[in-house]
Every structure is written in structure tokens, then in C-alpha cells.
């Protein structure tokens, strides 16, 4: 009896031992397979591991299948991943999140969102990674409506306090042009980290609300002990660029140096762009030359920056240097190249580069490239050729607005009423740049002496409630920005500005200047009234304020929201000589650097 008992005991222990050995063996087998899947970088290897898993009987293990799905997704084989997912008896939240993320990562965000709608049918509850993934899909699509619905799901399931989810929501609202929605999410967060702060800064910067972006950055710097990351710094620098705030940009550059992000490609490119847009192209060049191995992004920033300054040949030199270093240009690079040729009268070079886009670099020209060519042809007086090119391009309203707007501006400058009428009609019917189209067409009629048509169009504007965007200019003095509107002298030191402008007007006339003679004041009034109206353009008010506010020797930098008129351009050349001061003006199209009576654009803009 004792022997039998001992025999049973021995059998039982042996069975237990073998069972444990088998489990241990299965565990090691599974671990080996998972390690292979994590390190797998080739499709054939993934197929081989998949086959081995099937033979070993592990293809029904959810944990292992999830790793196989992730492997296929990493190799961009979403079809294989989807088939595996469809065959799973009980996919869990990791399975769902993995396949959804796979479609987002491979450029199929719409399908990812459709899959998300199917999750409730399987009774699987999304987790924080699921929500951050589908919110990212909404960001890519700029789908605010779906994003708000998912936000509601997040609140219902109690994830509104999750740091990762909230940061994704802030980013989504920013990319869907709703920075106020981003702010509401941010304000309700109990805990914030550098990612959530960065998302809010970017939300404001991306939506042309640079002042708020800078204010959030100041709050972050005073409240948080963490250093800003390179994404935040790039957004802050971009905000400074859009506002033309050189002083704030230099402060941000200091933060970049202190944080050790100066060699970061994205930050360096933002700095290059910021200094260029603030009228300091020489600073852009210094930052660029410090980049050890510049990619296409900083090169493109330099090409575009030089183009905006009218330095067409320099812009093309940067492009040639980039090609020599075997850096592949992108579509934006060619926008800069064509823009450079347009603003410097380099038509033959521009057409050569247009033809090389697809032949040499595999980039198909699109509307933005042809718009540059239309501008290029218009500037040298080939308006009929530009008109034919514009009509030959099929565009949707959003893409065509810049194309036909460019043609409309050119037809106004050259007094071509026929083309101006066609271009403005296209814009108005497409509901694009409606106010600008009405104004430019009215001014074209006025230039041609067709006052009845001009006045009729102005009456039509009043009837339908269309108003021209008011022209404004601004200057930065120390860390403050001063904004000026045409004809408005109600600001502090307004009387001093008016007195200086009258004195400058007198001294300019001594040099042969005739105010209001450039044909760009389109109201039927006496010559004296024309001079007074032009003399109080916003850029002149800004310049005069700069002259009385800033010490002698400091370059005055004026930013303007519209195109600088020819009359003010002529006046600024003379003023730069009279006051012996360098003046930089950034208008909506380009930069003008006035010095010793001449402009860097060589009167070609």
C-alpha cells in the first residue's frame, strides 16, 4: 500500500514536472517568437515567423497575434495585418488599437476612423492609446466634427483627465482651426507636461494667433521647471516670424541655445525663416551656415528667403548647392525657385526649372507652381501668355484663388480691363477673395478712366456688404509693437508724426518728388487731396513713428498687410537718402530694403 502510494506519488510528481517543463518550453518558444517579431525588418522574415507560429499552435494566442499584427504594420503590410485581425476569435483593445494605428501610419486615416466606429460591436472599450490614435486621424483629416464626437466619447468614458488624450485633443483642435477649443481642453487639465504646453503653443501659432502663442510660452517659462522641447521652440519662432517680432525672435533664439536645440533641423529651419521674415536675411545666412548637415528643409527656407528679398541669383545658387550635395528638392523648394525667378526677372531660368521638375526630380508641377509662372510672365509684360496659361489649368476654387488673384493684380497694374473683369468674375463666382476682387476691378476701371464703372462697382460692394480689408502697418520698438492704419493719427505722438511727414514731404519735393502721381489713388479728387491721402498711408505713419522713436543708426523695419503702393515705394527711397537711414519693409509679397535712395528690388516687384 505504501509502495503503491509512493508509486502514485512518483507518477503525480513526474506528470507535474513534465507539465511545468512543457509550459516553460512554450513560454520560451513564445518569447523567442515575440523577440523575432520585434526585430523583424523584412517581409519574408515576417512570413516565415508567421508560418512557424502556425505550426507551433501559437497562432491562437492573442498576445502573440498582436505582435505579429504590429510587425506587419511596421512593414506597411496592412492587408496582412487586417487579415490576421479579421481571423482573431477575440481581439482585445490592443488588437483594435494596433490595426487602427496601422491605417493612420500608412496614410489611411479615414479607414482608421471607420474601424473605430466598429469597436462597440465587439464590446471592446477603447483605452487612452486608442483615443489618442483616432484623434490623430482627425487631426490629419482636419475633421473637427468627428473630433468633437470622439471628444464626447472621451468624456463619457472618463478619459478627460488623461494627459496623453488631452494633449492629442489640443493638437487636434489646433489643426482643425479651433485654437479656442484647444484652450478649453488645456484649461480643464489638472496636470500638464511639456507636450500639452507645446500642443497649445502650436495651436495658436498654426492659426495666425502669434500673440497668444508667445503669451503661452511666457506662462510656460514662468510656471514650469521643464525646458522647452524643440517642437515648442519651433512653434514660438514661427509665431515671431508671422508677427515680424524680431526682438521676441531673438529671445526665442536665446532659449534655443540654452536648451541645446540649435543644431536641430526643424528649429534651425524655423530660425532661418524667422530672421528672413523679420528683415534680417544676413542673420538667416549665419544660422544656416552653422548647420552641420542641412537637409532640404533649411535649404528651402534659404531659397524662399532669398527670393523674398529679390536675391534671385543667390536663391538659385542655394538650389544648385543643394543639388550638388545630392539633397532631393521637394515641391515647396520649387515654389521658392520659381518665386525667385519671378521676382528677379529670370524668366528663362524659371521656365527651365519648371520643365526640370518632373524630368529630373520626379515632381509633378501643380497650381502653386503655375501661379509662380503666371506671375513671372505678367511681370515682364507677357500678360496675354499668362492669361492663356491660367485658363489652361483646371483648378478647384481654393487652389485657383491665388492663381486668378495673381492675374487680377497684374492686369490692374497693366491697365488690362478685359483680363481684370474675367479674373475678378472667376474669384467672385468661386466665393474667393471677393472683397479684393471687387476693389482691384474697381481700381482697374479707375486707372482706365472708366469712372462710371468704378463707381457702380463700389455701389455694388456697399449693397452686398463687401468691404475692403483695411491697410495696416506695424513697427516693433524694443519689445512693443505699434500698429498704424491709413489716415488715423489718433495714436500717441500722432501730431509729431504728422509734423515729420510734412517736413519729409517738403524735402522730397525739393528732390523732384510729386505726391499722388503714381496712379494708385483711385478716387476722383483734386491733386492736393490725393497727396494728403497717399501721404498718410499706414506704412508712412509707421516709418515716421520709427524715425522719432528709435535712435539714429538703427534699421527701421516696417511690416504691412497689403502690397506697398508705388507712390510710397518712391517716397521711401527718397526718405532713406534724406534721413541717412536703412529701412526694411515687408509687404504681403516681398521685402524692400531701402538704402541711400535705392531699393533692393530694383523697382521690380
- Write down all domains in the chain, each with its CATH number in brackets: 366-468 (1.25.40), 472-516+534-599 (no CATH)
> Does the pLDDT at position 24 exceed 50?
no
Query: Please, what's the b/e burial string for 347-380 (b: 16 or more CB within 10 A of its CB; e: otherwise)?
Result: bebbeebbeebeeeeebebebbbbbbbbbbbbbe
Residue 22 has pLDDT above 70, yes or no: no
Looking at the whole model, is its pTM more than 0.85? no
Report the alpha-carbon distance of residue 284 to residue 274 in Å, rounded: 8
Mean pLDDT of 525-540: 60
More confident: 95 or 34: 95
Q: Is the pLDDT of residue 295 over 70?
A: yes
Helix or strand run (H / E) with residue 112: helix 109-118
Pairwise CA distance, residues 550 & 365, whole Å: 46
Write the pLDDT tens digit of every residue in 194-219: 999 999 999 999 999 999 999 999 99
Q: Are 340 and 312 spatial neighbours (Cβ–Cβ below 8 Å)?
A: yes
Among 554, 576, 560, 571, residue whose Cα is nearest residue 477: 554
CA–CA dist 158, 139 (Å, integer):
22
Q: Which residue has the cell 488631452?
A: 166
- The region of weakest confidence among 126-130, 166-170, 281-285, 512-516 is 512-516
- Window from 226-230, 455-459, 575-579 with minimum mean pLDDT: 455-459
On the question of pLDDT at 261 being above 70, the answer is yes
Parallel, antiparallel, or unpaired: how do β-strands 556-560 and 591-595 relate? unpaired
Please report the pLDDT score of residue 37 as a whole number: 59
560 has which bridge partners? Answer: 473
Look at residue 560 and tell me whether its pLDDT is greater than 70. Answer: yes
Using the 8-state DSSP alphabet, how is residue 193 labeled? -
Mean predicted confidence (pLDDT) in 237-254: 92
Count the Cβ atoms, other than its own, within 10 Å of residue 156: 9
Q: Is it the case that residue 332 has pLDDT exceeding 60?
A: yes
The pLDDT score that the predictor gives to residue 530 is 41
Q: How many CB atoms lie within 10 A of CB 296?
A: 17
Helices of type H across 260-363: 265-277, 281-289, 296-308, 312-324, 331-343, 347-361
Tell whether the model's pLDDT for residue 6 goes beyond 50. Answer: no
Tell me how far apart the terminal alpha carbons of the chain are, to the nearest angstrom.
Answer: 110
Pick the closest to residue 524 from 420, 443, 426 (CA basis): 443
Do residues 61 and 31 lie in contact, with contact meaning Cβ atoms separated by under 8 Å? no
| Among the ranges given (28-42, 398-412, 540-554), the one the predictor scored with the smallest mean pLDDT | 28-42
- pLDDT tens digits, residue range 478-522? 878 899 998 899 998 999 999 999 999 999 999 888 865 444 444
In the chain, what is the greatest distance between 2 CA atoms, to the nearest angstrom?
A: 132
Q: Which triple of cell numbers denotes residue 69? A: 499584427
Mean pLDDT of 445-449: 80
pLDDT in tens, 167-190: 999 999 999 999 999 999 999 998
Residue pair 126/165 in contact by the 8 Å Cβ criterion: no
Residue given cell 524655423 in the structure block: 270
What percentage of the chain has pLDDT greater than the value 70?
A: 87
Task: Answer for the pair 235, 205: CB distance below 8 angstroms, yes or no.
Answer: yes
At 528, the pLDDT band (50, 70, 90 cuts) reads very low
How high does pLDDT run on average in the chain? 85
Percent of the chain exceeding pLDDT 90 equals 53
Amino acid at each position: 500500500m505504501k509502495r503503491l502510494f509512493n508509486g502514485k506519488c512518483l507518477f503525480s510528481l513526474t506528470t507535474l514536472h513534465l507539465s511545468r517543463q512543457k509550459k516553460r518550453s512554450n513560454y520560451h518558444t513564445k518569447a523567442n517568437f515575440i523577440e523575432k517579431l520585434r526585430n523583424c525588418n523584412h517581409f519574408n522574415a515576417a512570413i516565415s515567423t508567421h508560418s512557424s507560429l502556425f505550426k507551433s499552435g501559437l497562432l491562437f494566442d492573442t498576445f502573440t497575434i498582436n505582435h505579429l499584427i504590429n510587425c506587419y504594420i511596421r512593414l506597411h503590410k496592412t492587408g496582412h495585418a487586417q487579415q490576421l485581425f479579421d481571423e482573431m476569435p477575440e481581439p482585445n483593445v490592443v488588437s483594435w488599437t494596433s490595426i487602427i494605428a496601422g491605417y493612420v501610419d500608412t496614410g489611411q486615416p479615414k479607414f482608421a476612423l471607420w474601424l473605430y466606429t466598429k469597436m462597440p460591436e465587439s464590446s471592446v472599450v477603447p483605452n487612452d492609446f486608442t483615443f489618442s490614435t483616432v484623434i490623430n486621424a482627425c487631426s490629419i483629416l482636419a475633421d473637427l466634427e468627428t473630433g468633437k464626437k470622439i471628444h464626447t466619447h472621451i468624456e463619457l468614458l472618463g478619459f478627460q483627465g488623461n494627459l496623453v488624450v488631452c494633449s492629442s485633443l489640443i493638437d487636434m483642435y489646433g489643426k482643425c482651426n479651433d485654437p479656442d477649443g484647444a484652450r478649453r481642453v488645456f484649461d480643464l487639465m489638472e496636470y500638464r507636461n511639456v507636450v500639452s504646453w507645446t500642443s497649445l503653443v502650436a495651436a495658436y501659432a498654426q492659426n495666425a494667433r502669434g500673440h497668444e502663442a508667445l503669451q503661452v510660452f511666457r506662462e510656460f517659462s514662468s510656471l514650469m521647471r521643464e525646458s522647452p522641447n524643440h517642437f515648442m521652440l519651433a512653434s514660438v519662432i514661427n509665431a515671431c516670424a508671422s508677427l515680424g517680432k524680431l526682438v521676441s525672435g531673438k529671445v526665442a533664439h536665446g532659449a534655443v541655445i540654452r536648451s541645446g536645440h540649435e543644431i536641430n533641423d526643424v528649429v534651425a529651419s524655423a530660425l532661418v525663416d524667422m530672421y528672413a521674415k523679420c528683415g534680417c536675411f544676413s542673420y538667416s545666412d549665419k544660422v544656416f551656415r552653422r548647420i552641420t548637415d542641412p537637409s532640404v528643409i533649411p535649404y528651402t527656407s534659404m531659397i524662399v528667403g532669398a527670393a523674398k528679398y529679390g536675391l534671385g541669383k543667390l536663391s538659385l545658387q542655394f538650389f544648385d548647392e543643394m543639388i550638388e550635395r545630392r539633397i532631393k528638392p521637394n515641391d515647396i523648394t520649387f515654389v521658392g525657385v520659381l518665386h525667385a525667378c519671378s521676382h528677379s526677372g529670370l524668366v528663362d531660368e524659371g521656365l527651365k526649372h519648371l520643365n526640370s521638375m518632373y524630368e529630373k526630380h520626379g515632381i509633378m508641377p501643380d497650381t502653386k507652381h503655375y501661379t509662380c509662372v503666371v506671375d513671372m510672365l505678367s511681370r515682364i509684360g507677357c500678360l496675354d501668355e499668362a492669361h492663356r496659361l491660367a485658363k489652361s489649368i483646371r483648378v478647384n476654387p481654393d487652389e485657383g484663388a491665388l492663381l486668378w488673384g495673381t492675374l487680377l493684380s497684374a492686369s490692374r497694374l497693366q491697365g488690362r480691363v478685359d483680363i481684370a473683369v474675367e479674373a475678378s468674375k472667376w474669384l467672385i463666382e468661386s466665393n474667393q477673395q471677393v472683397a479684393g476682387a471687387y476693389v482691384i476691378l474697381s481700381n482697374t476701371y479707375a486707372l482706365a478712366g472708366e469712372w462710371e464703372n468704378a463707381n457702380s462697382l463700389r455701389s455694388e460692394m456697399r449693397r452686398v456688404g463687401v468691404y475692403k480689408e483695411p491697410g495696416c502697418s506695424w513697427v516693433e520698438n524694443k519689445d512693443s509693437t505699434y500698429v498704424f492704419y491709413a489716415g488715423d493719427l489718433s495714436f500717441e505722438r500722432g501730431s509729431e508724426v504728422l509734423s515729420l511727414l510734412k517736413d519729409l514731404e517738403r524735402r522730397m519735393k525739393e528732390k523732384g518728388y510729386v505726391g499722388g502721381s503714381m496712379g494708385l489713388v483711385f478716387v476722383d479728387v483734386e491733386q492736393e487731396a490725393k497727396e494728403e491721402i497717399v501721404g498718410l498711408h499706414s506704412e508712412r505713419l509707421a516709418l515716421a513713428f520709427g524715425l522719432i522713436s528709435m535712435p539714429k543708426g538703427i534699421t527701421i523695419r516696417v511690416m504691412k498687410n497689403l502690397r506697398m503702393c508705388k507712390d510710397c515705394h518712391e517716397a521711401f527711397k527718397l526718405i532713406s537718402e534724406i534721413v541717412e537711414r536703412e529701412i526694411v519693409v515687408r509687404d504681403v509679397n516681398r521685402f524692400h530694403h531701402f538704402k541711400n535712395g535705392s531699393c533692393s528690388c530694383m523697382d521690380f516687384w
